[in-house]
Amino acid sequence: MALDRWLALAILAICLIYGYTAFFTMDAGLPPFMRRSPVWPSTFPKILAAMAVLVALAIVLGLEKPGRVGPAEIDWRRLHEYRLGQALALLGLMVAYALLLRPAGFLLSTTGFLAIGAAVLGERRFHILVPVVLIAAVGIWYLVQQVLGIYLRPWPFFLGNGA
């Protein structure tokens, strides 16, 4: 079986566990007044689990590639020819982002993650990259903080901005 099918099988197992949790265990602790609501806290996880199971099943069964042309399988003998350095650098960058999110603040860590990630992937037009990254980080922070009302520490902890 090809690598994409093995990965889809693993994702299918995870999605089945997630779906079981969403369908059978999340709603057990709902208060009575919420049980009459048309949308429950588990509605989105149920939809997400069902869609993910369908997509993973389509990949496992090979339904997604009826007329694909060209070499589509990953050849383990030529693994050194793939860009593993970029992939590992991005994985390391994601871990660093998760670890720096609280101490460095949302704006600094998100800006750094997006800029360094784009540079790792090959973007060299920094005069375009920096404004786009700044607008994206500030825009996401504004939407989450002001529109949704979820507090995100914008600056590093040593600047003393509360919580």
Give the relative orientation of helices 126-142 and 106-120 as an angle to the nearest 10 degrees.
Answer: 140
Q: What is the span of the domain harbouring residue 17?
A: 3-67
In a domain, residue 9? The reply is yes
Lowest mean pLDDT among 73-82, 107-116, 150-159: 73-82
Residue from 58, 51, 55, 56 nearest 8 by CA:
56
Q: Cα 127 to chain center, whole Å?
A: 27
d(CA 69, CA 61): 18
> For residue 26, is it within any domain?
yes
In this prediction, residue 75 carries a pLDDT of 65
Q: Please check whether residues 54 and 91 belong to one and the same domain.
A: no
pTM: 0.56
What DSSP element (H or E) covers 9? helix 3-20
Residue 91: its pLDDT value, please? 92
What b/e readout covers 56-81, taking b as 16+ CB neighbours within 10 angstroms? beebbeeeeeeeeeeeeeeeeeeeee
Length of the chain: 163
Is the separation of the CB atoms in 19 and 55 below 8 Å? Answer: no
Count of domains forming the chain: 2
Segment 31-55 mean pLDDT: 82
Q: Are residues 99 and 154 in the same domain?
A: yes
In a domain, 73, yes or no: no
99 and 127 inside one domain: yes
> Considering the domain boundaries, does residue 76 fall inside one?
no
Contact predicate 12/56, CB 8 Å: yes
Rg (CA), the chain: 21
